[in-house]
């Protein structure tokens, strides 16, 4: 499973990328606004920090304008993936990007029917929003399961990118449901390393080791 970081904070990205466990990055207009920086500059910097896919989202709502923006974003670096919303216009643009060999991440997916259309349009990734569905009283993880079954039934190549992840349990459940990737906020990513029993066990081992008076080196 590929693990992406959902962030525009390049300091945080640099820190977590040093683990070698960050396979890519996703951004969105809200995260760009939060960075307070020019979008093209942030995306270029992120693309220098990670080799994997970096999603950069269009701001236009009509296909022709999405195409113009997407081509510009794709020109920033070879690993840019153009993120488009799951709308009728977005899928028209997705199909054209596919013809042009530009990778896409179709975002704001909230139903299996939408995901089916994204795959038919030739999306590279589809992003079902787990947390926002759960907030809405729906079953976010159930959506991943449905999309997995549909994509497997028809051998679609579109990768399922579990998005709007809120906690480590979401990452585990997305992996069990067969998501190809998950995009994770930095705080949740950091929490993935932790377990209270790991900390307690390590403390005990270190204390017992100290009593031996030995040194391995
Ligand atoms: C995904 O690509 C989105 O940027 C992100 O996962 C949305 O998460 P949120 O619902 O926490 O804003």
Residue 198 banded pLDDT, cuts 50, 70, 90: very high
Three-state secondary structure string covering 56-68 = EECCCCCHHHHHH
The per-residue pLDDT for range 100-140, each reduced to its tens digit, is 999 999 999 999 999 999 999 999 999 999 999 999 999 99
CA of 191 to the centre of ligand 1 (A): 17
138 alpha carbon, distance to own chain's centre:
21
The ligand 1 atom at the shortest distance from the C-alpha of residue 26 is 2
- Of 78, 82, 4, nearest to 39 by C-alpha is 82
Residue with tokens 């974003």: 73
One CATH from 3.40.109.10, 3.20.20.70, 3.40.50.1700, 1.25.40.80 for 2-212? 3.20.20.70
Q: What is the pLDDT of residue 209?
A: 98
**What are the extents of the domains in the chain?**
2-212
Contact between 126 and 119 (Cβ < 8 Å)? yes
Q: Which residues are near ligand 1 (CB < 6 Å)?
A: 6, 26, 28, 107, 127, 129, 131-132, 163-164, 183
Closest CA to ligand 1's atom 6: 164
Closest CA to ligand 1's atom 8: 164
Residue with tokens 């080799």: 51
Mean pLDDT of 59-84: 98
Q: Which of 14, 34, 83, 194 is catalytic?
A: 83
User: What's the mean pLDDT when you consider all of the chain?
Assistant: 98
Hey, is 91 helix, strand or coil?
helix
Mean pLDDT of 161-184: 98
In the annotation, is 83 catalytic?
yes
Distance of alpha carbon 144 from alpha carbon 151, whole angstroms: 10
Q: What is the pLDDT of residue 46?
A: 98
Segment (H or E) for 127:
strand 125-128
Distance of alpha carbon 132 from alpha carbon 161, whole angstroms: 14
Instruction: Look up the pTM and report it.
Output: 0.96
Q: What is the pLDDT of residue 27?
A: 98
Q: What is the pLDDT of residue 51?
A: 96
**In terms of DSSP bridges, do strands 24-26 and 2-6 run parallel, antiparallel, or are they unpaired?**
parallel
Q: What is the pLDDT of residue 148?
A: 98
Q: What is the pLDDT of residue 158?
A: 98
Substitution site in 86, 164, 182 for ligand 1 pocket (most atoms within 8 Å of beta carbon): 164
Percent with pLDDT over 90 in the chain: 100
Q: What is the pLDDT of residue 40?
A: 98
Mean pLDDT of 143-153: 98
Helix H segments across the chain? 10-17, 29-35, 39-49, 63-74, 88-100, 112-120, 130-135, 140-153, 168-176, 186-192, 196-212
Residue 26 banded pLDDT, cuts 50, 70, 90: very high
């Amino acid at each position: 499973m590929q693990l992406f970081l959902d962030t525009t904070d390049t300091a945080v990205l640099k820190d977590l990328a040093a683990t070698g466990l960050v396979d890519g990055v996703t951004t969105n207009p809200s995260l760009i606004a939060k960075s307070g920086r020019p979008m093209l500059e942030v995306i270029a910097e992120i693309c220098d920090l990670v080799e994997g896919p970096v999603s950069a989202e269009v701001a236009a709502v009509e296909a022709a304008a999405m195409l113009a923006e997407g081509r510009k974003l794709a020109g920033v670096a070879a690993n840019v993936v153009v993120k488009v919303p799951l709308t009728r216009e977005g899928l028209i643009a997705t199909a054209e990007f596919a013809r042009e060999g530009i990778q896409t991440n179709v975002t704001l997916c909230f139903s299996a029917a939408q995901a089916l259309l994204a795959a038919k349009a030739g999306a590279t990734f589809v992003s079902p929003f787990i947390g926002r569905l759960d907030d809405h009283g729906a079953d976010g993880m159930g959506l991943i399961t449905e999309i997995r079954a549909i994509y497997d039934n028809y051998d679609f190549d579109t990768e399922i990118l579990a998005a709007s992840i809120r906690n480590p349990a979401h990452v585990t459940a997305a992996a069990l449901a067969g998501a190809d990737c998950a995009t994770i906020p930095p705080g949740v990513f950091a929490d993935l390393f932790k377990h209270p029993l790991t900390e307690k066990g390590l403390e005990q081992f270190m204390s017992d080791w100290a009593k031996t008076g030995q040194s391995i080196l």
